[in-house]
Structure 1
Amino acid sequence: MPRPSETLKLGLVTDLGRIDDGTFNQYAYDGLVQAASEHGLEYEVIETESRNDYERNLQSLIERGCTLIVTIGSTLGPAAERLATRYTSVHFVIVDYEPLPDSRNVTGLVFAEDEAGFLAGALAGLMTDEDVVGFVGGMDIPPVLRFQKGFENGVAHTNKRAKALSIYTDSFTDTAAGEEAARELIGQGADVIFAAAGASGSAAIRAAAQAGAWVIGVDQDEWVTTFQNGAVPGAERLITSAVKRVDHAVYTAIDQAVHGHLRAGVQRFDLSNDGVGLAPYHAADAAVPSEVKGKILEVRDGL
């Protein structure tokens, strides 16, 4: 009987965007490539250009012989689950999605965005001078809502005087909407802005940082991506990012499949298993008081 690794061919379908777009499309790809390299597996990748293409893209990977397909984003989940009922020999791994309880060949990778958001909010509450902070959301899907709720709770935990404002762009790709949201929040007095809105959010924090606000990135370390390791103006205003280790989660799922341990259902990644956390302070390190850093460590240990 062949080992699992001898029958695995990997596939990846991104959500809208590309594998080098600095969002978790890229980090899921990184996790897949790492696993494929370590285990000597073939893989195919399709970058989604329209939501109408979700099912077509998944079907294409099945026809190319992929037996484990990673999909990115909760909006892809329903299409993957529909195909999972028809192609029971293919295992689907869906980032940011909780599959139906009776799904036998679907694994959802979910994250404790509320924990990462809480840490971001706690830091924002300590860093604001105006007692007004802002949140930019993309679409009102569960992961974004968890980020927002955690952020608001974190702000309240460290600064009961602070007011948390929020604006949704209704898009993860509309950079102009992200920039406008940042301007609107700053106009309402926000001096710390946290964005969880994909490329829209990256545009929001870039615009806010260049306008002089403190900003907090999301999903990955946006010092590396959005601010290109400090090369982009405003990088010194990025105090941290609320990181989701999508690369770690995707790698873990594939590694489990290779060893025959991948199970259907939900896998949760949180602070306890290095699934979420805060990125380094980078160029803002000297501007973050030592007592603030200490408080954030205390808050983290208490979650």
Structure 2
Amino acid sequence: MQDSSTPNHGDIQRSSARLNRRSFLGTGAAVVGAGALAGCLGDDEAGDRNDFAIVSSPAGFDDNAFNDNALEGLEEAAEEFDREVNAVEETEEAEYQSVQAELAEQQRYSVIVLVGFNHFDALETNAVEYEDQNWMLINDHVEGQDNVSGWIEMNNEMSFLAGVAAGTLTTADISHAGSSTDPSGTTVGFVGGEDIDLINAFEQSYIEGVEWVNDDVEVLTGYGGSFSDTSAARDVAESQIDDGADIVWHAASAAGRGVFAAAQNEDRFALGVDVDQSVTAEQYADVILGSAVKALNEATYQVGAAAAQDDWGSVSGEQNLSIEQGGIDFITGQQFEGALPAALDDSLEEAKQAFIDGEIELTCGPTGC
């Protein structure tokens, strides 16, 4: 629920309503590694709060997905408003409270962006301790803290669209670069990273999307146990393909590259997540039929712009990215544009309109079940 401070989402709709490929390109920005962290925290004298900082989720940057998409939008705002970005890669959740605090103590940043719900517990403390510091939290929000812009991404809606795509395409006859579907079969797969409530919601919503299209399709599910272990994700995907899945979707961040490798190795197909992974993981573009995407880059751009323009009230409090706002969509992979059946677009448009009309109720929310 949004209060009277909810912004006009024109900035998001400006480019993400069409959710074209350019909006979801991965960033090439330099990232501050964990080994360099000590050099970036505490050496600078306190100054004007002009620059931006961003701290990764445990998956880290260069994930070709969630973290890179968030960084891209902040980099865009930094370029437009002549700011610097300190991108801190911290993969150990136990370090989040101290990393957040040390960044805030520099009094250098007009906003500190925290990628992922994993930052929530630490921010609950630090948002109060550093009330003069503005924060952006992705995938959660902190009640009663005006200095926090908490963005809830409708991951359940995004996952549902991935399921709609998989359920539609598994019965189609698709062949490309040696890979093919099995139109006589009705099995698709899902590979999660860590087996946690957030990713369980991805799984369940994906299943519901598949069943919305065709309740005869079986969904095989499994978890690699990590957001970075590509080998584990590949093993799970290969097992599902061996059991009949011809399309596998993942919610495993950087580990999802293992799913794409399995699809290539087994001559089947996969779906990407968060961004157009046929672009950000281009070496696998020949097996990525499409990607379920969210305009997180537009959200970080909007927050960066608000901080730079001293307009924090426009983004303060709980915000969200949804289908209705144009912030969630499914886009075709770059090697499959114009080559997939018209039934895909028909199913996706019907599903998106059903969400807008309030006709679809999902079992799980955007952050858990």
TM-score (structure 2 length as normaliser) = 0.74
Greater Cα shift, 54-63 or 31-40: 54-63
Contact 2:277/2:285 (<8 A) preserved: no
For structure 2, which runs of at least 5 residues remain unmatched after alignment?
1-47, 171-182, 356-369
1:70 equivalent to 2:113? Answer yes
Output aligned runs, 1:152-163, within 5 Å.
152-163=207-218
Aligned-partner Cα distance in 2 for 1:297–1:124: 15
CA offsets 1:194-247 (integer angstroms, 9 cap, x no match): 101101122213322331222111011100112x2xxx2x52221111112111
Corresponding residue for residue 106 of structure 1: 148
Structure 2 residue matching 1:243: 3-state secondary structure:
strand
2:122 to 79, 97, 114: 79
Corresponding residue for residue 137 of structure 2: 94
1:253 to 303, 321, 325: 303
Corresponding residue for residue 4 of structure 2: none
% identical aligned pairs: 29
CA offsets 1:65-105 (integer angstroms, 9 cap, x no match): 22411011111221122111111101111111232x22332
Corresponding residue for residue 3 of structure 1: none
Contact 2:63/2:253 (<8 A) preserved: no
1:167 to 206, 222, 226: 222
How far the C-alpha of 1:249 sits from its partner, in A, is: 1.0
Contact 1:202/1:217 (<8 A) preserved: no
What is the alpha-carbon root mean square deviation over aligned residues?
A: 2.0
Aligned-partner Cα distance in 2 for 1:42–1:281: 33
Contact 1:215/1:237 (<8 A) preserved: yes
Aligned-partner Cα distance in 2 for 1:96–1:152: 21
Equivalenced residue count is 292
Aligned-partner Cα distance in 2 for 1:301–1:123: 15
1:27 to 69, 93, 96: 69
Aligned-partner Cα distance in 2 for 1:263–1:299: 29
* AA at the equivalent of 1:282: Q
Contact 1:44/1:61 (<8 A) preserved: no
Distance 1:269 1:8, change over 3 A: same
For structure 1, which runs of at least 5 residues remain unmatched after alignment?
1-5
1:223 equivalent to 2:286? Answer no
Aligned-partner Cα distance in 1 for 2:61–2:287: 26
Aligned-partner Cα distance in 1 for 2:200–2:323: 18
How far the C-alpha of 1:171 sits from its partner, in A, is: 1.2
Aligned-partner Cα distance in 2 for 1:127–1:171: 28
1:186 to 241, 258, 269: 241
Contact 2:285/2:333 (<8 A) preserved: no
* AA at the equivalent of 1:252: Q
* AA at the equivalent of 1:86: E
Contact 1:195/1:202 (<8 A) preserved: no
Q: Which has the higher contact order (CA 8 A, sep 6+)?
A: 2
Aligned-partner Cα distance in 1 for 2:343–2:101: 53
Structure 2 residue matching 1:103: 3-state secondary structure:
coil
Aligned-partner Cα distance in 1 for 2:50–2:321: 24
TM-score (structure 1 length as normaliser) = 0.89
Structure 2 residue matching 1:190: 3-state secondary structure:
coil
Aligned-partner Cα distance in 2 for 1:27–1:286: 26
Output aligned runs, 1:269-284, within 5 Å.
269-284=321-336
Distance 1:244 1:292, change over 3 A: closer
Contact 1:195/1:205 (<8 A) preserved: no
Distance 1:241 1:195, change over 3 A: same
Structure 2 residue matching 1:109: 3-state secondary structure:
strand
Contact 2:56/2:115 (<8 A) preserved: yes
How far the C-alpha of 1:124 sits from its partner, in A, is: 0.8
Aligned-partner Cα distance in 2 for 1:62–1:7: 10
How far the C-alpha of 1:7 sits from its partner, in A, is: 4.2
